[in-house]
Structure 1
Amino acid sequence: MRELSHLLHELEPPPGGLQRLQRAMIAREPSTWRRRHYIRIAALSCAALAATWAIWRMPSLMATRQRSALLRDAIHQAMTPGQNDVRIHNGSALELPSGQANVRIYLVQTESP
């Protein structure tokens, strides 16, 4: 921009104008402590919200996992060769007729929560 300085006049600030501008800029900027305080409050709020959500959802997630594990175990036991019994916890199983002697078909239903 120095090559254009011959076209433009350089203006001096009014007396005390630079100090007023600097004071206004300092007063406008929030302090670092205040900024850190707001960040800390936001982080703690997010952590509290996440913990509340986890506590609220944990029982249903555990129940779903337990039902899935029981169903998976029942299907695994039914498909394991050499076992004639199927154990179902919190549900029922119904053996369906099959056209082949070595194929066993079961309708397995777990109990709803």
Structure 2
Amino acid sequence: MIELRVLSPTRTPPAGGLSRLQRAVAAQGTGLQPRWRWLAMAASLVLLVMALPLWMAPSRDDGSLDRALHDALLPPPSGNAVLVHDGAALAVDSGRQDVRIYLIQRLPPRPVPSQ
């Protein structure tokens, strides 16, 4: 601690410095003029009114978004592939090169959750 006192000697404040600082802080005010404060509050209110329907909208979870994301993440089908939505396809050997046989099964529809 002795080293700090040598590096930074104790200084005395100027006379009346505290009262001048208090007056300067009081004279500055809040910084925002009433007109700008009103504009900021109006803009906030408009944004809230515009965003409120998004929060209050009933959510429908029919799985279409999940299905679209799943399909987008799958690799693109080759020229010989069969694309089946809501089901599955199984290739069956037909014995001929120019004939393709597929066993296709559709999944049962999912029940819609009640709200």
- Please, what TM-score do these two structures have when normalized by structure 2? 0.32
| Structure with greater helix share of residues | 1
TM-score, normalising length: structure 1: 0.33
